[in-house]
């Protein structure tokens, strides 16, 4: 029997939780950060582990929908996970995660998603790496955008807090179409724009640039600038925080702006999309300083509901033999029939086309990678010849998933 209890948080647990989380993340308690993060705190979805009354662990959820190929799905956005240093490796996280996953399923959310501080933490709970992160460190003087600018699109600077409603309107129209982006509530925007000084790392406050066409704002970017000089002159930097530009005209105009600041030499973006169109529209892609990392990890907690909720780029009719160490309800054979207009997923006793663990399904769920690379990794087993190729055409998507924000 564990010697700790798990219970649901109350609103006034926030300051104790902040102290415990700050310590477990090796950070100082910062009132501005605590106030910013407090906007999104959902006490009734936050689990706390206590031993003898002392808070020793936590695991929270944000209630937001997640964009998946062709649809959006209710998704437990897992956050605020930490265990006090003196209570580590005693099974506290394991107990919290098992309770949390069951709660997410009971809440009717077929999917859970998170950003991991370390990838090794969550795979044992059935999470698969579902979106890759492109990091860009662009040598801005060496890169020329070769696609023409749309003369009808103009850009103007703005203070983010003053254009919050405009940003929200552009984002609301865009997020459902990009797998990996998540619905934002008023509270999400309050957190996103709060801009605590301890999170600026010596750079400017958050700034906005808006792309407009005929009086409408059609895209925006949030960014910071940093002034720097050496004996040869200026070497300032632009750091992009997010860029939302659904049309090519807005996308090109915003990138031209962000690469063209006087007194800067580099433009960076820590979490661009792995299929960022910029890779194809410059004269010297090598100078983009691109690297690949991980962003979103996805766990299907209710396999048939999750698989039926997304669309498939090509028709699929497949029997999937799924293993799942945590949810026996998921562990069986499922017939998935779907295509661009919808899907069904029902139990079956027919022979399997593919065998795979729920972790591999989580990896493939947002469309990249499709099943081919997972089969090559040995994570998907082809039980019927040709099934991987057929399934891959359906599971892939025309836009790669993108984790646009750490939550």
Ligand X SMILES: CC(=O)SCCNC(=O)CCNC(=O)[C@H](O)C(C)(C)COP(=O)(O)OP(=O)(O)OC[C@H]1O[C@@H](n2cnc3c(N)ncnc32)[C@H](O)[C@@H]1OP(=O)(O)O
Q: What is the nearest approach in angstroms of ligand X to the Cβ of residue 406?
A: 9
CB nearer ligand X, residue 334 or residue 407: 407
Q: Does 19 bind ligand X (CB under 6 A)?
A: no
Q: Does 82 bind ligand X (CB under 6 A)?
A: yes
Q: Does 78 bind ligand X (CB under 6 A)?
A: yes
CB nearer ligand X, residue 116 or residue 279: 116
How far, in Å, are 7, 97, 128 from residue 131 at the CA level? Answer: 32, 21, 9
Q: Is the dihedral of CA 211, 198, 180, 169 positive or negative?
A: negative
Whether 25 sits among the annotated catalytic residues: the reply is no
Selected binder of ligand X within 114, 288, 375, 400 (CB under 6 A):
114
Instruction: Tell me how many degrees the CA angle 98-99-100 measures, rounded to the nearest 5.
Output: 90
Token pair 């836009």 is found at 399
Tokens of residue 316, six digits: 């699929």
Selected binder of ligand X within 33, 36, 47, 81 (CB under 6 A):
81
CB nearer ligand X, residue 119 or residue 277: 119
| The one segment of 110-118, 129-137, 144-152, 384-392 that binds ligand X by CB under 6 A | 110-118
Q: Are 146 and 282 spatial neighbours (Cβ–Cβ below 8 Å)?
A: yes
Q: Is 309 helix (H, G, I), strand (E, B) or coil?
A: helix
Q: By CB under 6 A, how many residues form the interface with ligand X?
A: 22
Strand order in the sheet with 333-339: 342-347, 333-339, 316-323, 354-357, 380-382
Strand order in the sheet with 128-129: 5-8, 47-51, 54-68, 71-83, 111-115, 296-300, 128-129
Whether 407 sits among the annotated catalytic residues: the reply is yes
81: annotated binding-site residue? yes
Parallel/antiparallel/unpaired status of strands 316-323 and 354-357: parallel
Q: What is the nearest approach in angstroms of ligand X to the Cβ of residue 26?
A: 8
Selected binder of ligand X within 93, 371, 375, 387 (CB under 6 A):
93
CA–CA distance, 218 with 171 (Å, rounded to integer): 10
CB nearer ligand X, residue 81 or residue 356: 81
89: annotated binding-site residue? yes
298: annotated binding-site residue? no
Q: Are 343 and 73 spatial neighbours (Cβ–Cβ below 8 Å)?
A: no
Q: What is the nearest approach in angstroms of ligand X to the Cβ of residue 53?
A: 18
| The one segment of 38-46, 84-92, 328-336, 357-365 that binds ligand X by CB under 6 A | 84-92
Residues binding ligand X (CB under 6 A): 24-25, 78-83, 88-94, 114-118, 120-121
Active centre residues (catalytic): 122, 407
């Amino acid at each position: 029997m564990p010697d700790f209890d798990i219970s649901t948080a109350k609103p006034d647990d926030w300051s104790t939780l902040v102290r415990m989380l700050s310590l477990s993340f090796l950070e100082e308690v910062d009132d501005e950060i605590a106030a910013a993060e407090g906007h999104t705190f959902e006490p009734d979805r936050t689990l706390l582990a206590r031993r003898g009354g002392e808070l020793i662990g936590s695991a929270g959820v944000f209630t937001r929908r997640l964009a998946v190929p062709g649809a959006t799905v209710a998704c437990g956005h897992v956050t605020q996970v930490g265990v006090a240093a003196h209570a580590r490796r005693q099974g506290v996280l394991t107990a919290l995660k098992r309770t949390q996953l069951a709660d997410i399923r009971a809440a009717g959310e077929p999917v859970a998603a998170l950003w991991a501080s370390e990838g090794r933490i969550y795979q044992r709970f059935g999470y698969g790496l579902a979106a890759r992160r492109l990091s860009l460190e662009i040598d801005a003087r060496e890169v020329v955008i070769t696609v023409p600018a749309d003369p009808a699109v103009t850009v103007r600077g703005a203070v983010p807090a003053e254009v919050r409603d405009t940003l929200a309107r552009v984002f609301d129209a865009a997020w459902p179409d990009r797998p990996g982006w998540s619905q934002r509530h008023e509270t999400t925007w309050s957190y996103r724009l709060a801009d605590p000084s301890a999170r600026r790392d010596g750079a400017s406050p958050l700034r906005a640039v808006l792309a407009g066409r005929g009086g409408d704002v059609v895209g925006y970017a949030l960014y910071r600038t940093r002034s720097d000089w050496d004996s040869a002159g200026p070497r300032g930097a632009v750091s992009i925080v997010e860029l939302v530009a659904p049309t090519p005209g807005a996308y090109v105009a915003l990138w031209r702006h962000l690469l063209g600041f006087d007194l800067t030499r580099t433009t960076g973006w820590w979490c661009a999309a792995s299929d960022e169109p910029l890779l194809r529209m410059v004269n010297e892609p090598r100078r983009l300083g691109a690297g690949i990392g991980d962003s979103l990890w996805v766990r299907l907690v209710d396999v048939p509901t999750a698989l039926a909720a997304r669309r498939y780029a090509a028709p699929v009719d497949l029997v999937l033999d799924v293993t799942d160490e945590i949810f026996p309800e998921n562990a069986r054979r499922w017939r998935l029939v779907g295509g661009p207009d919808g899907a069904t997923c029902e139990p079956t006793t027919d022979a399997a086309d593919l065998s795979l663990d729920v972790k591999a399904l989580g990896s493939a769920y947002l469309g990249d990678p499709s099943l081919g690379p997972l089969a090559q990794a040995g994570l998907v087993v082809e039980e019927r010849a040709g099934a991987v190729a057929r399934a891959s055409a359906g599971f892939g998507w025309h836009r790669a998933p993108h984790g646009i924000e750490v939550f």
